[in-house]
Chain A
Amino acid sequence: MSMTRRELTKLVTRLEAGVPLSPELYARTGNARILGITGPPGVGKSSLIDRLIDELRRQGKTVGVIVIDPTSPISGGALLGDRLRMQRHSDDDGVFIRSLATRHHHGGLTDATPQIIHALDAAGFDIVIVETVGTGQDEVEVAEVADTVVVVLMPELGDEIQRAKSGLMEIADVLVINKSDLMNAGAARQETRRPKQGQRWERPTLRTSAKTGDGITTLCHVADAHHAHLAASGQLAGRRERAARAEVIRLLQSRMTASILCALGASRPQTILSAVAKRKLDPYDAAQKLWVEILGSKNRSHKYVATNSR
C-alpha cells in the first residue's frame, strides 16, 4: 500500500471536512473496483460485507470499506453500528473500514463519499465497498459512485419491496435476496442461471445467507462477471464518466449553494427577502432579481467559496 494507515485515515478525515483531494492523488485513482451495496435497514448488508471480505481476502484482494449510517435529525449524533458486524477484520492489514454519518446529506451518501472512495482507491485497495441505506426513490446516489450496484432485500419484505421496486430496482445490477436460511427449502434453492455476457446485462437475482455463508461465493463471481461485462462492452468507461460528471456537478452545486447563501447575507438581498415576506414581491420575481445580481457578482463571489477551493 502506498500510504500508511495513519496517513490514509487522516486524509479521509480531511476529506470529510471538505478539504479536496490533491491532484497527484487523484491521478493515481481509477484502479479499484467500486462495489455499492444498498437496501433497506436490517436486510443484512453489513453482515454480507463481512462475508464478502472473507471471500475477497481468500482471493488475495485488499478491501476498503465505507459504511454509511444516518445521522439523527434531532440530536445530530449517530450510532454507527455497521462496524460491529465486521470488527473481526479490524486487525487484518489488507482491510480498512471507515464508518461515516450522513450528517445533513440526503441521498444515501455523505458529502465527501466520492472523494473518500478516491482516497481508498489511491491508497491501492483492489476493491472498495460502499454500504448505504436505501429504502426507495431518494437514496440512489450510490449508483453515481459504484461500478456495480448490489441491491439487497430479504424474504417477506412485502411493502419494502414494493417501495424499493420503484427507485432501487432501477439502479440494481445485481439483486440479492439475503437471509435465504429463513426461506423454506424450495424457495431458497440457488438460482443457477449465469448472467449472459452479451451487450445487455440481464440482472440476476441471487439468494444468499450471511448467516450460513451460502451464496457468498456466487455473489462474488457474479459481481466479477458484471465488472467483466462492463469492461468488455465498453460500459465501464461510460459509468466512470457518469460518476465523474455527477461528482463535478455536485461540487458545482455546493459552490453555488454556498455562493447563494453568502450573497443572501448582504443587505440588498435582505431587503428583497423581506419584501417577499411582506407580500410586496412574489418569490419568482425575487429569485429572478437575485439570480441576476449573484451572477453579476460572480467574480467577487470567489471569496465565499474559500472552503471548497484549493
Chain B
Amino acid sequence: MTERREEPGKFPFARGIHATMYRGKLWTMRQYAGFGTATETNKRYKYLLSQGQTGLSMAFDLPTQIGYDSDDKMALGEVGRVGVAISSLADMEQVFHGIPLDKVSTSMTINATASILLALYLAVADKQGVPWSKVSGTVQNDILKEYIARGTYIFPPAPSLRLIADIVEFCAKEVPGWNTISVGGYHMREAGCTAAQEIAFTLADGIAYVQTCVERGLDVDSFAPRIAFFFNCHSNFLEEIAKFRAARRLWAHIMRDRFGAKNERSMMLRFHTQTAGSTLTAQQPDNNVVRTTIEALAAVLGGTQSLHTNARDEAIALPTEESALLALRTQQIIAYESGVTAEPDPLGGSYYIESLTDQLEQQARGYLNKIDNVGGMLKAIEGGYVYKEIYRAAYEHQKAVEKKEKIIVGVNEFVSEKKLSLKTQKIDPKSEPRRRRELAALRQKRNATKVEKCVGTLERATRSSENLMPIIIDCVRNYVTVGEICKVLRATFGEYRPTHSI
C-alpha cells in the first residue's frame, strides 16, 4: 500500500468531495418513482411537492425512450408501463400543469431521446413564462451504457454522441442550471459486471463524453462540472465503499492529467447511488430490507451525493406503498440515527479499506488501459469487448450460485417456502386505445404548415453540423411528436444494430 496523506475535500478526492461531508449537508434522498398517465403523474408530483419534496424524478415508458409514439405498432403493450408516456408537448404540459418549473428540479431518466424531452421541458417553461436561466434538473443522457446493458438505444454511436454534445453545448450557454449527463454504471453492474469493471466502464464512458465535447471545441471547465455519475451499490460491503473511493481518485486524475481541467469542480466525481436491484430475491422478501440497509450504508460510507434505496419488492414487483415508505425510512435511519454522518470518510486510513481502494483502482486502470489500447470506449463497445466481459461475469456468477460456491440466503441455502407474491401493475387496458385516439386528434388539430416547415428544417439540419437543440425545441413547440422527430433522425442517422457476439 502506498503511503499517502489524502484529505476529504482535496484532490484527488478519494476521501470525498467535501471537507465536511454530511456534517455540512446530508445526501439527497431521491426515490425514483412514478408511472402511469400524464394526469396521474401530475397528481403524484403535486402530492410530493405538497409534502415538501422539491426534486421530481421522471421515468418514461419504453416507447418514449426509444422514440416511438404511443400509437406506433412497436409500442404494443409497452405504453405507460415503466414510466409515463410522452408523445407530444400536450403530454408534457399535462404532467407539469400547475407546477412552476422555476420552483422544482426535475431528474429525467432519458437517453436516446434526451434532447427531445429536454426540448419539451423547456417548451413548457416558455409556456409558463419561466426563463431557462431559472430552470434546473438532469437528463441521464448516457447512451453508451445503453449499447452495453440497458438497450434503449436508437442511433449508432457517432450521431448519438453528436446529440449529447449538442445538449452539453446548448445548456452551457442557455440553461446553466441543467445537469447535462449522468454517466451510469448502475445498469452494467445489474447486467453482471464486477466492481472494478463498474468503475472502469463507467469512467471510460465519461472519458468518451468529455472527449467528444472537447473535440467540439468546448473548454473542459465550461461543461465538466455539470457531468455527474450514477453508481450501483452491491452487496459486498467493504468492496463497495472502496469502489467509490477508487472511482473518485481515478476521475480526478483523468480530468486533471488527461483533459487538463483547471477547475477543481471538474475533477470532483459527484454521484447518485441506487442499491442493487439484482441482489434482491423473490424468496423470503423481508431479507431484502436487510440487504438494502447494508448496501445503503456502504453508499453513505462511500460518500454518495444522493441515494435511492430499493423497496423490498422493487425490481421484482411493483413496490407497495408500505414497502416504498420502509425504503425511505431505511435511509433516514442511517442519516439521523446511525451516527455515521459524524465524520467525513470515517473508514479512511483503515488498512484494509485503503488497500482495497488501491487494488480496485489498479484493476480499473488495467481495464481502462485495455480500452485505450483498442482505440477508446466506442471501439471497445462496438467490437463487443465490454459486452462480453460483462455477460461472461454474469454467467460465472450464475454458475457459482448454482454450485453453491456463492451463497444467497433463502435462495440456495437456508431455504424456506415463503415467496414474494408478485402483484399486478394496474394499467388501464383502455389507455393504449385512448392514447391512439388522442394522438390522432392532435395530428388533426395542429398547424400542418408549421409542422411541415420545422420538420423540413430539422431534416436539413441533421445533415449539417448545426446544433440541433434549438431546432428540436421549435419542432416540439409546434406539436411535432417524439416519434416524428425520431423518424427524421432515424432517416439521416440510421439505426444502431447490436454488434456483440455471444
Contact = CB atoms under 8 A, between A and B. Distances in A.
A79 B391 CA distance: 14
B100 interface: no
B151 interface: no
How extensive is the interface on chain A, given as a class? Answer: under 10
A30 interface: no
Interface in B484-502: 497-498, 501-502
Interface in A60-79: 79
Contacts of B497: 85
Interface string A76-114: 000101001100000000000000000000000000000
A79 B500 CA distance: 14
Do most interface residues of chain B lie in helix, strand or loop, or is the interface mixed?
A: loop
Interface string B376-417: 000000000000000000000000000000000000000000
A42 interface: yes
A81 B384 CA distance: 14
A231 B345 CA distance: 79
Interface of A: 42, 79, 81, 84-85
Nearest to B382: A211
A178 B498 CA distance: 17
Interface in B464-502: 497-498, 501-502
A42 B501 CA distance: 8
B421 to A, nearest CB: 35
Nearest to A41: B501
The 7 tightest CB contacts between A and B, nearest first, are A81-B502, A79-B502, A81-B501, A42-B501, A84-B498, A84-B502, A85-B497
A178 to B, nearest CB: 13
A79 B502 CA distance: 8
A281 B9 CA distance: 85
Nearest to A182: B379
B469 to A, nearest CB: 27
Contacts of A42: 501
Contacts of A81: 501-502
A44 to B, nearest CB: 10
Interface residues of B, number: 4
Contacts of A79: 502
7 contacts: A42-B501, A79-B502, A81-B501, A81-B502, A84-B498, A84-B502, A85-B497
Nearest to A44: B499
Nearest to B501: A81
Nearest to A213: B494
Nearest to A81: B502
Contacts of B498: 84
A208 to B, nearest CB: 16
A169 B502 CA distance: 28
A79 B498 CA distance: 17
A42 B500 CA distance: 10
Contacts of A84: 498, 502
A74 to B, nearest CB: 14
Contacts of B502: 79, 81, 84
A164 to B, nearest CB: 19
A84 B497 CA distance: 10
B151 to A, nearest CB: 14
A84 B501 CA distance: 9
A85 B498 CA distance: 8
A279 to B, nearest CB: 44
- Counting chain A CB atoms within 10 Å of each CB, which of B497, B498, B502 scores highest? B497
B47 to A, nearest CB: 44
B297 to A, nearest CB: 40
A79 B501 CA distance: 10
A216 B501 CA distance: 22
A159 B501 CA distance: 22
Contacts of B501: 42, 81
B396 to A, nearest CB: 16
A78 to B, nearest CB: 11
Nearest to B498: A84
B416 to A, nearest CB: 33
A236 to B, nearest CB: 35
A126 B497 CA distance: 27
Nearest to B156: A211
A128 to B, nearest CB: 24
A84 B384 CA distance: 14
A85 B497 CA distance: 8
A157 to B, nearest CB: 14
Nearest to B495: A88
B194 to A, nearest CB: 23
A308 to B, nearest CB: 35
B476 to A, nearest CB: 30
B379 to A, nearest CB: 9
A220 to B, nearest CB: 20
A39 B497 CA distance: 22
A85 B502 CA distance: 12
A14 to B, nearest CB: 29
A79 B497 CA distance: 20
A81 B498 CA distance: 12
A81 B501 CA distance: 7
Nearest to B500: A84
- Counting chain A CB atoms within 10 Å of each CB, which of B498, B501, B502 scores highest? B501
B388 to A, nearest CB: 11
A85 B499 CA distance: 8
Interface string B127-165: 000000000000000000000000000000000000000
A292 to B, nearest CB: 51
A79 to B, nearest CB: 6
B12 to A, nearest CB: 36
Contacts of A85: 497
A81 B388 CA distance: 14
A85 B384 CA distance: 14
B252 to A, nearest CB: 34
Nearest to A42: B501
A206 B497 CA distance: 23
Nearest to A79: B502
B238 to A, nearest CB: 36
Interface in B163-214: none
A84 to B, nearest CB: 7
A42 B388 CA distance: 13
B202 to A, nearest CB: 26
Nearest to B375: A182
B143 to A, nearest CB: 18
B156 to A, nearest CB: 9
Interface in B346-368: none
A85 B500 CA distance: 10
A81 B499 CA distance: 11
B373 to A, nearest CB: 14
A299 to B, nearest CB: 51
A213 to B, nearest CB: 9
A141 B501 CA distance: 25
A44 B502 CA distance: 14
Interface in B12-28: none
A1 B498 CA distance: 32
A37 to B, nearest CB: 17
